[in-house]
Amino acid sequence: AFRATDPMLSRLAKFRKSFSAAFKEAKGLRPKMVKNDPMMVVGALAAAGGAYGAYVYFTQPDYAAIKKDIAEILDDFDYDDGSYGPVLVRLAWHNAGTYSSFDKTGGSAGAAMRWSAEAGDPANAGLDVARGLLEPLKAKYPKVSYSDLWTLAGYTALEQMCPNENLKIKFVGGRKDYVEAKEGPVQGRLPDAARGPDHLRAVFYRMGFNDREIVALSGAHALGRCHTDRSGFKGPWTYGPTTLSNEYFKLLFSEKWVPKKWNGPFQYENTSDKTLMMLPTDLCLIEDPDFKKVALEYSKDEDVFMKDFSAAWDKLQNNGFTC
């Protein structure tokens, strides 16, 4: 943290003073002066802009540097399928997935998962791995909020794991963290993977999404796997769990899915080699006729999926957040 005697803090104070003076001068220019000497206005505004640019430079996190550092810690051959990317996407997803368009609470700003109430939601089991992975970066870049750090980690992971150029997502920073746990959303807003299409719609409609966007965001299940010590479920959805593609949708239609015979919670497995799994919320995408039309389209056209997923992801991460 900066001390009062820090030279950078002193320079920042001077820039603030310079900006304030330049802005007041620009506001005080009379129309007659503008007509007679427009360069005075240009000069005043340039001074204001320069001071403001310096102010932003010294107060805003270096998102480019943070993104670079996130990209460098993604690969780890000792973790799952060799990448932390999927769990970072899940962290960003679940952090933002608490949004309610009804009362404008929840969403990607706040970082309520720092406290036990939200962290203890069964849907967030295992995300301590992702949060812990990012702690050294929070210490290295103290100006970045947890909300921005978690969100940026999800964006960076998606970009690193997607070879399709039609993934066009844009991170916007400026989120503020909650000061107290009581500011966070009520628990239980995330999807329950053991339920069906009515539940899925209730959760996503609350966030302001339509059926097409629901299916698009479900495509993130192309990434990662389930763990018995977290969600209770077991296995990956696809053969390429560290690559964002439309394979998830292809497999929904090309494989035969049957209930898995085991002592764990109800899930499906593919009959061809029994190495993949699907959850009830996955199978409802090909059982519900409206969902099925979209899922089938995505299975046949990855570019369309990427374009729709990009828009839905940006919406998810920016719901309720204004910079």
Reference 67, options 163, 219, 169; nearest CA is 169
CA–CA distance, 260 with 190 (Å, rounded to integer): 24
CA angle 283, 289, 292 (to 5 degrees): 55
Which residue among 93, 94, 150, 313 is the active-site one? Answer: 94
- Helix 63-72, helix 146-161: angle, nearest 10: 60
Torsion of CA 316, 75, 130, 207, to 10 degrees: 10
* 94 is known as an active-site residue: yes
Which residue among 93, 150, 221, 237 is the active-site one? Answer: 237
Instruction: Name the amino acid, one letter, at 222.
Output: A
E strand spans, the chain: 225-226, 235-236, 257-259, 268-270, 277-278
Enter the DSSP assignment of 170: -
* Residue in the structure block whose two tokens are 């998606």: 158
Quick one: how far is CA 233 from the chain centroid? 23
For residue 132, give the 3-state DSSP assignment: helix
CA distances from 90 to 125, 130, 158, 213 (A): 11, 9, 10, 17
Contact of 314 with 96, CB cutoff 8 Å: no
Tell how strand 225-226 and strand 235-236 pair up.
antiparallel
How long a stretch of residues is the chain? 323
CA–CA distance, 99 with 196 (Å, rounded to integer): 20
3-state helix, strand, coil in the chain (%, to 5): 55, 5, 40
Q: Which residues are catalytic?
A: 94, 237
